[in-house]
Amino acid sequence: MSDDERLTKYDEFCARAYTDTRLLAGTRELILAMAWVMQRDPDQPAPGEVFPRVKKLLGPASRWRPDGRRSRMSELIEADAPRYEPPRQVEQAASQAFCEAPRMRAYKPRGYVPRTKPDPDLIQPTPLHPRPPTIVHVLPGYVPPPEPTKQDPCGATGHTLIVEKDPATGWQTAHWFCRRHLDQAARVAEQVREQNELAPEPIPNRGGLLGSYFKADFATLYGKHCDHWVAPVYGVCADDWPVPGVDAVPVRPRLRLLVVGGSA
Ligand SMILES: [Zn+2]
């Protein structure tokens, strides 16, 4: 390959990396460094020496790790490991969640009622001037939200979580219930039981973008740089994952790469 061709290829590669909105800043940094080493590095490292060179270029890790052996490259590879991350509502603490069952009764504001009648023998407090009415500052055009009716969700603090799995994608949806709605929780748990048993492995929704740019044994690479990682059944390249309702991503040319050397 001539220098001109090599330069054009590298230029197109960079343009693609900068316009790909799926890439996080760190992943883009890694991909661009790998492409530069493979196409433009004056030292021309051998195919198996790409990762040690990239590791040297990217420098030490940005955060301290107890094992003390991580590099920035290793960190970025770990961040790009293909995986399924459930939504925040599934992961969050019960105290942060709101019950989604229907309300028991409509909200009714109750005025203050003194619990006991005042004792006539007590000295009555000195009568004071009436307080001025409370002023609430709002933006122009603000309309207070309607008070909850019986059609609205309960909204009390969560207690029990029921996870529903999508029959097509295996992706999870959280259903939270409060202590007063445990019967509803049991009903929903029974409703989703069979569906959850039949649900497929979740399609990954994070990472896997190195495989979109390079051809290599990424399952081995991710396994080497992640502490607890299992390869998804859908493959390690984000382009290969099925996207429900969206056409398959076209296969793009990738740079061939050998995964050897470059310890974590
Ligand atoms: Zn509730």
Same domain, 190 and 60: no
Distance from residue 161's CA to the centre of ligand 1 (Å): 12
- Burial-class residue 261 by CB neighbours within 10 Å (0-12, 13-18, 19+): middle
Q: What is the pLDDT of residue 247?
A: 42
Q: What is the pLDDT of residue 250?
A: 42
Distance from residue 186's CA to the centre of ligand 1 (Å): 13
Q: What is the pLDDT of residue 2?
A: 79
Q: What is the pLDDT of residue 259?
A: 64
How far apart CA 74 and CA 225 sit, in angstroms, is 6
Same domain, 165 and 230: no
Both tokens of 82, joined, read 């293909």
How far apart CA 103 and CA 153 sit, in angstroms, is 5
Distance from residue 189's CA to the centre of ligand 1 (Å): 15
How far apart CA 203 and CA 182 sit, in angstroms, is 31
Distance from residue 179's CA to the centre of ligand 1 (Å): 7
Q: What averages of pLDDT result for each successive group of 10 residues across the chain (264 residues)? A: 84 93 91 91 85 91 74 91 94 94 84 77 85 89 85 91 91 95 95 92 90 90 89 88 59 59 50
Same domain, 65 and 151: no
Domain count, the chain: 2
Is there a contact between 213 and 227 (Cβ–Cβ < 8 Å)? no
Same domain, 97 and 171: yes
Distance from residue 178's CA to the centre of ligand 1 (Å): 4
Is there a contact between 175 and 102 (Cβ–Cβ < 8 Å)? no
Same domain, 157 and 192: yes
Distance from residue 183's CA to the centre of ligand 1 (Å): 10
Q: What is the pLDDT of residue 261?
A: 52
Distance from residue 155's CA to the centre of ligand 1 (Å): 6
How far apart CA 196 and CA 157 sit, in angstroms, is 25
Distance from residue 106's CA to the centre of ligand 1 (Å): 13
Q: Residue 159 belongs to what domain range?
A: 86-106+146-202
Asked whether residue 184 is assigned to any structural domain, the reply reads yes
Same domain, 165 and 58: no
Distance from residue 90's CA to the centre of ligand 1 (Å): 17
Same domain, 32 and 16: yes
Distance from residue 92's CA to the centre of ligand 1 (Å): 17
Distance from residue 100's CA to the centre of ligand 1 (Å): 6
